């Protein structure tokens, strides 16, 4: 059977065998011949064996060991040639770009670069390296602290921190689209929700480990408050996008002042959550009636001011007359006043008097600069009519005070 397998399955020595139908067919006469010539065959194996040009001419007919009368064999090399290559190029030609860069750096070039550094460059890079080292050290210490993982695992039960972080990141993404004028209604709402979450929900949750009471209330009050302002476009145009208008009416303080105001508002809310007592210690009942009254007054002032301003404005931001009705009878900038009152009411609800003074100072400084620019533009546009109105209504934000 070994000889049969060798002849039948050989890939290098084709043959045709014609066997009769005798039942006692044997290949014993070939065994000695194969054993005697095995040494010679192995020595001449690579010289004598060649691939066949026409393997289709090979056949096996009437083979008792085959399942079909004829079988086609395809010959191949017994040992295919190895695909090896040898390169005589030097190792310097195969260097990585980093090694080439390091090789091109010389002491003289490094010395020249060092002498070109100004004191401002040294301070800048020193600050960058210091912040990077401090951030790396703080991150490593935080990740290796078992309290960090226990803290996050427990607070997940009371306040979803990872959800808050996701909302914040998504809010930045939507704000970027809003600056490009591509944000949908849902994405604009996501911006507002992310901001209010990090103003009213995240700070108390951070310092208390859970949420209850006033933070939930003001989360929805903030939404409703700012809904009055943006709903004007929806009512007039069917969407929330600004219409083309004269850019002189886009009154805005310098960018650094706007960023400082945003940072101050965020810091004030975190200070209030830190300063105030634990949420479960804030008394309830009738002691909070004045807070509900302040909330109602804030919403009514904002709604009426926005309503009257829209009646006497074109494209929302372009006034067509001097508004002297509604809240404009008591203060010249009631929308800014209502915003300050909203923040103040939140800080009163959390029992944080020092943070209350801080947020009033931040809002007063910012809105005072913005109000000066608006009033100068109103005087330029309406002349004596606005001067007469300003002399009649002397207070900017707070009646009988400021």
pLDDT tens track for 100-109: 655 666 667 7
Contact 272, 203 (CB under 8 A): yes
Q: Is pLDDT at 402 greater than 80 in this prediction?
A: no
Q: Would you kindly state where each structural domain of the chain is located, as residue ranges? A: 108-144, 212-392
What are the φ and ψ backbone dihedral angles of 23, each rounded to 5 degrees? -75, -30
> What's the chain's average pLDDT?
74
Model pLDDT, residue 23 = 46
H-state helical runs in 77-118: 97-104, 107-115
Q: Is pLDDT at 381 greater than 60 in this prediction?
A: yes
16's enclosing H/E stretch is none
Using pLDDT thresholds of 50, 70 and 90, give the confidence band for residue 234: confident
Model pLDDT, residue 12 = 46
Q: How far is Cα 223 from Cα 232, in angstroms, rounded to an integer?
A: 15
Model pLDDT, residue 152 = 53
Q: How far is Cα 104 from Cα 90, in angstroms, rounded to an integer?
A: 18
Find which of 122-126, 189-193, 233-237 is predicted with most confidence, using mean pLDDT.
Answer: 189-193
Mean pLDDT, range 30-45, rounded to an integer: 46
2-22 confidence digits (pLDDT tens): 444 444 444 444 444 444 444
H-state helical runs in 283-352: 289-311, 334-349
Q: Is pLDDT at 171 greater than 80 in this prediction?
A: yes
CATH classification number, 212-392, choose in 3.30.450.40, 3.90.1640.10, 1.20.120.1630, 1.20.58.1610: 1.20.120.1630
pTM for the whole thing?
0.60
Q: How far is Cα 260 from Cα 251, in angstroms, rounded to an integer?
A: 17
């Amino acid at each position: 059977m070994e000889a049969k397998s060798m002849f039948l399955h050989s890939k290098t020595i084709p043959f045709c065998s014609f066997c009769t139908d005798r039942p006692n067919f044997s290949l014993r006469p070939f065994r000695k011949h194969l054993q005697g010539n095995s040494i010679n065959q192995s020595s001449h194996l690579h010289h004598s064996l060649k691939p066949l040009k026409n393997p289709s001419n090979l056949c096996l007919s009437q083979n008792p060991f085959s399942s079909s009368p004829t079988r086609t064999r395809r010959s191949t090399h017994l040992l295919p040639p190895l695909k090896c290559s040898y390169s005589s190029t030097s190792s310097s030609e195969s260097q990585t770009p980093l090694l080439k860069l390091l090789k091109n750096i010389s002491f003289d070039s490094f010395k020249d670069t060092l002498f070109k550094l100004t004191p401002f460059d040294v301070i800048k890079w020193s600050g960058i390296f210091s912040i990077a080292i401090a951030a790396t050290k703080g991150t490593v210490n935080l990740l290796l602290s078992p309290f960090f993982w226990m803290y996050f695992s427990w607070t997940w039960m009371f306040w979803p921190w990872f959800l808050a972080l996701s909302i914040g990141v998504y809010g930045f993404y939507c704000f970027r689209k809003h600056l490009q004028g591509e944000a949908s209604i849902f994405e604009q709402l996501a911006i507002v929700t992310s901001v209010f979450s990090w103003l009213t929900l995240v700070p108390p949750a951070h310092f208390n480990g859970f949420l209850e009471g006033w933070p939930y209330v003001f989360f929805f009050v903030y939404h409703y408050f700012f809904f009055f302002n943006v709903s004007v476009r929806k009512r007039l145009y069917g969407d929330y996008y600004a219409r083309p208008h004269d850019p002189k009416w886009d009154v805005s303080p310098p960018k650094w002042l706007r960023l400082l105001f945003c940072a101050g508002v965020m810091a004030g809310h975190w200070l209030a959550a830190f300063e105030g007592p634990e949420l479960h210690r804030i008394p309830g009942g009738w002691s909070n009636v004045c807070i509900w009254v302040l909330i109602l007054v804030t919403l009514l002032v904002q709604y009426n001011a926005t309503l009257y301003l829209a009646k006497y404005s074109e494209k929302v931001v372009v006034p067509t007359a001097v508004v002297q009705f509604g809240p404009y009878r008591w203060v010249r900038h009631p929308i800014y006043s209502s915003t300050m009152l909203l923040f103040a009411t939140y800080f009163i609800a959390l029992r944080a008097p020092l943070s209350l003074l801080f947020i009033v100072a931040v809002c007063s400084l910012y809105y005072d600069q913005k109000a000066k620019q608006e009033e100068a533009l109103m005087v330029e546009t309406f002349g004596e009519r606005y001067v007469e109105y300003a002399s009649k209504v002397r207070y900017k934000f707070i009646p009988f005070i400021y």
